[in-house]
């Protein structure tokens, strides 16, 4: 099998991931990783070997990202460590930045926000002006600092991400969450909304969501639609004049429309909305949301991820 064909296999995994999810995509990604390892144990010309190292690092990185989405934090870290070793062997700084971003994401969803910031900073320090730093700033630093209540730090990270966005030619639309490409402006704004939500800046959450609304609705990413809508719903509950009915209607929309294959970020975000709505538990629209949520969480894979979200442990 040629390097070109193997490269296409990695691209296909990225392209199919959001439609099929981690539980269906991980086995074939593991198969590709094993095949690449067999090739690496052979003898190839230096240029071909470098390409194989990069592909193996990407395959391990993808498996790490899938493990994050599946709520398997320890496995995610193991795959990311493997990916880092392979990328370091060929000095691929861009891929190392992406791996650091995935480790930051893993720590964030494990509730270890200090470590999430640390991994983001480590990635940024490699090449501070690289477009990969946008993801590290918006998804890594800003969101974790927001959870820590560091308003100045989170806003500074978002400002730096915005400045880098203006300096680089970036993909359009809403880039895939697992893509190795730099963040598109819309993806950065979606992450900014989440950071603002953690800081209690409900109006800014709504402003960010409004800016990308058309792109989110047109996107093939059910996860992105779900996450942005859930941030909006939670913001509506946290405003000066809580809009309970509107928030629950959005929550019901997410649950009834389907949010794609179950992943930790969506399950966790739905749980957060449910927790915020608890004070209005006596209202009929909240009761209806809770009933719909119980049905939504009833599938085995969603139950497993929900357990991880509820007890804060990794499986």
d(CA 68, CA 108): 10
pLDDT at 1: 62
Query: For residue 177, what are its two tokens?
Result: 């969450």
Give the residue-averaged pLDDT of 167-194.
94
Q: What are the boundaries of each domain within the chain?
A: 1-91
pTM of the model: 0.93
pLDDT at 118: 98
pLDDT at 115: 98
pLDDT at 313: 41
d(CA 99, CA 129): 17
Range scoring the smallest mean pLDDT among 137-141, 253-257, 266-270: 253-257
d(CA 277, CA 108): 23
Range scoring the smallest mean pLDDT among 61-75, 158-172, 218-232, 249-263: 249-263
């Amino acid at each position: 099998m040629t390097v070109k064909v193997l490269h296409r296999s990695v691209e296909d995994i990225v392209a199919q991931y959001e439609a099929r999810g981690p539980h269906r995509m991980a086995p074939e990604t593991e198969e590709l990783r094993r095949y690449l390892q067999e090739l690496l144990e052979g003898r190839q010309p230096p240029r071909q070997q470098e390409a194989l190292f990069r592909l193996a690092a990407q395959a391990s990185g993808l498996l790490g990202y899938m493990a994050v989405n599946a709520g398997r934090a320890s496995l995610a870290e193991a795959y990311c460590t493997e990916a880092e070793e392979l990328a370091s062997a060929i000095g691929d700084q861009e891929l190392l930045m992406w791996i650091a971003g995935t480790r930051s994401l893993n720590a964030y969803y494990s509730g270890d926000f200090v470590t999430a910031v640390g991994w983001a900073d480590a990635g940024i320090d490699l090449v501070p002006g690289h477009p990969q730093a946008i993801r590290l700033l918006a998804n890594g630093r800003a969101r974790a600092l927001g959870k820590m209540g560091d308003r100045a730090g989170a806003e500074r990270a978002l400002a730096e991400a915005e400045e880098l966005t203006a300096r680089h030619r970036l993909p359009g639309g809403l880039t895939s969450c697992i893509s190795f490409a730099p963040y598109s402006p819309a993806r950065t704004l979606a992450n900014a909304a989440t950071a603002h939500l953690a800081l209690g800046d409900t109006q800014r959450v709504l402003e960010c969501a409004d800016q990308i609304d058309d792109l989110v609705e047109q996107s093939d990413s059910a996860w992105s639609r779900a996450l942005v809508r859930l941030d909006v719903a939670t913001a509506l509950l946290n405003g000066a004049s809580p809009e309970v009915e509107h928030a629950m209607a959005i929550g019901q929309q997410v649950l009834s429309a389907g949010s794609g294959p179950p992943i930790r970020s969506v399950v966790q975000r739905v749980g957060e909305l449910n927790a915020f709505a608890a004070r209005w538990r006596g209202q009929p629209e909240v009761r209806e949301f809770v009933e719909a949520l119980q049905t939504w969480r009833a599938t085995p894979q969603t139950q497993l991820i929900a357990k991880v979200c509820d007890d804060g442990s990794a499986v």
